[in-house]
A and B are shown apart, each in its own frame.
Chain A
């Protein structure tokens, strides 16, 4: 069965991330049609929109509905719908691809606690590319000179991406173009 738990989204009280773990959501990105029982909730206005992430489904309730009363029914319906991935419809076929899933996982990690950690240390982190099982992560700011950057990449970012996208993937630091490399004042003669 599907192991689920809800996590609130601070910026939007009507939305909840239902964390499912890796490889449960049928695809990533906006949902056009969900499997029948869940789709019924969308049709009757209880649910306004659905969006799949690599390890979660973000459910936004319709106006006038609140989580405390509808939470339990959304949970069991979602649970049931997730066991029936064939009946979900995405906006585009790309959303079903492995590359899309890997890219979503990497973006979520960078937006999540692992990315927060880098930013809290004055670093900048972004996704350069995610293709064919290879993820390139760009670093800047304090990260560019930090001896622990490699450790952070492997133990925080890569580990978190692997949790959302199990299987053989490679996570590397992107080789930055000179233009994106931060220039520091230096006394050294160039």
Chain B
């Protein structure tokens, strides 16, 4: 998974020199791109396709140039849509995307023979080209040999060795980037014919005195354990166990700390600010935005661990081990990484699909990611499982609540796999079958900078994007729940004591615009046992699932909107036969849990899906598909539980 420094999509001014960065996956391309552009990268999409586009400005010794990081590719024979983009960008006759003024090709010194094939194709294009040679340090460590000046003579273009992240090397590169117009195309482009091409590569490597690096002994030794059918799988499960332990255990005290901060803030507000504005601050800001910010430690920890696992090279091994299981859903091992990220939040999960070389796999994984049990669902699950299952119920040593929770996680994972399989089949007719290629990079110490950038990006993205959406929705929701405004005369007319705050707020709520909306959608949700109050919660949770908890609290007019369980347990609703029933009876609660398991109630996810696919089509399909699935499954569960109970 490539951690680009994210940002908003901004068009870079035309007129500046544009240099494209071309290289195979794992050639150190993204590391170099991040190092050169620093924190000034912009992301976007290529028109009409699901391929992320990265551009950044680079300060050279002579002004700024624009560097465009093209998708990692092994060749220009466009098999996948991503490779097609590279071909299109380099093709001067293709007017749909701008052709760069020059090309910087990354060659991994440890896999030089394979990289030369890509270079040959780029050189055939005839744009001014320079070569950046990466991992020369690793070649030397593994006793390989390469004569760089001879390689430069043989290739006929400038070759700049760079150990990614070394300032001196980057200085040389910045000097070269200042004058890409002086870069040359080779006097005779490399041959096209595959036999001649192989001979050309042989001849170039021979002249450059290239001696293949020895197999990395350290990596081979570690892999003999980590990729072992038995030990490897064991280590994998221990790693995954530790992974979740860290997310759900280590994050807990940090979460409590954030929660304590908001509680303190709520206290200060309650003591000092009164009236509607005080209500707005405590319920909308603290209840809405605060309940989401609580999940920041989890997001940071998750990305920290993924960045470390990726930087060290273990993530490729985990993906390799999971490949067989993922294959059953028609996906490759790399999709596992995306689905793993989706356990914290579907947004990083969807962003992680950028690492998938096939656009078709990307769509299927993107459709599956929102079904993985994200941390936002956790809050809802905790509330509803508490209502459904008595905490004292046990099956032997296993608590029933924990078991239900486990089933919900398992159900989410199974639903995700099934969805991936379905969409793979559904989109399969259009795309070609892609050859699978996965590279096991040598084990490396993760670079602190890359890890920091990944974590910082995740935290910033979470705070700004999710925070913005939830803030807006919570404000709107608060208004809808409290409008139209009621005065003392309204309460008197309805026979309510205007001094009884619980009664008046309940009256305002009952006659609010939100209540109207909740009643309006009643026909849709009635078969599931939902009444208008749940409907308001479900509608509100379309923005973000956590809002359901806070909204239900407000709707129930409970004393504490963050733990409304007691108030909710007492809540009654007409049973349709002239009597009353508990609103949160077993069939309704089970149906509600099932609904939350499948439904795509997250505007941020929809927004990110739109950004990543470049079209509204896929988010619309995902929303429709998951809503239909959620409703149907909830209906089935409601009927089955009703029949049993």
Q: Residues of A at under 8 Å CB distance from B?
A: 1-8, 13, 16, 19-21, 67-68, 71-72, 74-76, 79, 113
**Are B206 and A71 touching (Cβ within 8 A)?**
no
Residues of chain B within 8 A (CB-CB) of A68 are 126, 185, 187-189
Asked if B560 is at the interface of the complex by the 8 Å CB criterion, the answer is no
Residues of chain B within 8 A (CB-CB) of A71 are 187-189
Asked if B272 is at the interface of the complex by the 8 Å CB criterion, the answer is no
User: What is the interface size of chain B, counting residues whose CB is below 8 A from a CB of the partner?
Assistant: 24
Known: A1-B199, A68-B185, A75-B188; 7 extra A-B contacts, CB below 8 A, are: A2-B199, A4-B196, A6-B187, A7-B153, A72-B192, A113-B149, A113-B150
Q: How far is the CA of A94 from the CA of B185 in the complex (A)?
A: 39
**Are A75 and B191 touching (Cβ within 8 A)?**
yes
Q: How far is the CA of A79 from the CA of B195 in the complex (A)?
A: 12
Q: 17 interchain pairs (CB within 8 A)?
A: A3-B199, A3-B206, A4-B203, A5-B154, A5-B207, A8-B186, A19-B154, A67-B188, A68-B185, A71-B189, A72-B189, A75-B196, A76-B191, A76-B193, A76-B196, A79-B196, A79-B199
**Are B203 and A16 touching (Cβ within 8 A)?**
no
The majority secondary structure among interface residues of chain B is: helix
Closest to A71 in B: B188
**Are A4 and B199 touching (Cβ within 8 A)?**
yes
Closest to A8 in B: B187
Which B residues from 185 to 234 make CB contacts under 8 A with A? 185-193, 195-196, 199-200, 202-204, 206-207
Asked if B461 is at the interface of the complex by the 8 Å CB criterion, the answer is no
Asked if B156 is at the interface of the complex by the 8 Å CB criterion, the answer is yes
Q: How far is the CA of A21 from the CA of B204 in the complex (A)?
A: 10
Residues of chain B within 8 A (CB-CB) of A7 are 153-154, 156
Residues of chain A within 8 A (CB-CB) of B192 are 72
**Are B199 and A6 touching (Cβ within 8 A)?**
no
Known A-B contacts A5-B154, A5-B200, A113-B150; the reply to A21 vs B206 at CB < 8 A is yes
Q: How far is the CA of A20 from the CA of B203 in the complex (A)?
A: 7
Closest to A7 in B: B153
The majority secondary structure among interface residues of chain A is: mixed
Pair count A-B, CB < 8 A: 62
Q: How far is the CA of A19 from the CA of B153 in the complex (A)?
A: 11
Q: Name which of A2, A7, A74 has the most chain B CB atoms within 10 A of its CB.
A: A7
**Are B206 and A6 touching (Cβ within 8 A)?**
no
**Are A67 and B187 touching (Cβ within 8 A)?**
yes
Residues of chain A within 8 A (CB-CB) of B196 are 4, 75-76, 79
**Are B188 and A6 touching (Cβ within 8 A)?**
yes
| Interface mask (B155-188 → A, CB under 8 Å = 1, otherwise 0) | 0100000000000000000000000000001111
Residues of chain A within 8 A (CB-CB) of B190 are 5
Q: How far is the CA of A16 from the CA of B195 in the complex (A)?
A: 21
**Are B202 and A3 touching (Cβ within 8 A)?**
yes
Q: How far is the CA of A118 from the CA of B207 in the complex (A)?
A: 20
Closest to A13 in B: B187
Q: How far is the CA of A79 from the CA of B191 in the complex (A)?
A: 12
Residues of chain B within 8 A (CB-CB) of A2 are 199
Least distance between B641 CB and chain A CB atoms (Å):
73
Least distance between B529 CB and chain A CB atoms (Å):
74
**Are B191 and A72 touching (Cβ within 8 A)?**
yes
Q: How far is the CA of A75 from the CA of B126 in the complex (A)?
A: 17
Least distance between B382 CB and chain A CB atoms (Å):
66
Q: Name which of A4, A20, A79, A113 has the most chain B CB atoms within 10 A of its CB.
A: A4
**Are A6 and B186 touching (Cβ within 8 A)?**
yes
Residues of chain A within 8 A (CB-CB) of B185 are 68
Residues of chain B within 8 A (CB-CB) of A67 are 187-188
Closest to B155 in A: A5
Q: How far is the CA of A67 from the CA of B186 in the complex (A)?
A: 10
Residues of chain A within 8 A (CB-CB) of B193 are 76
Q: How far is the CA of A2 from the CA of B191 in the complex (A)?
A: 13
Least distance between A63 CB and chain B CB atoms (Å):
17
Residues of chain B within 8 A (CB-CB) of A76 are 191, 193, 196
Residues of chain A within 8 A (CB-CB) of B206 are 3, 21
Q: How far is the CA of A79 from the CA of B196 in the complex (A)?
A: 9
Closest to B188 in A: A71
Q: Name which of B126, B153, B154, B192 has the most chain A CB atoms within 10 A of its CB.
A: B153
Least distance between A108 CB and chain B CB atoms (Å):
13
**Are A3 and B154 touching (Cβ within 8 A)?**
no
Q: Name which of A3, A13, A19, A67 has the most chain B CB atoms within 10 A of its CB.
A: A3
Residues of chain A within 8 A (CB-CB) of B200 are 3-5
Least distance between A32 CB and chain B CB atoms (Å):
25
**Are A3 and B188 touching (Cβ within 8 A)?**
no
Residues of chain A within 8 A (CB-CB) of B186 are 6, 8
Q: How far is the CA of A16 from the CA of B188 in the complex (A)?
A: 9
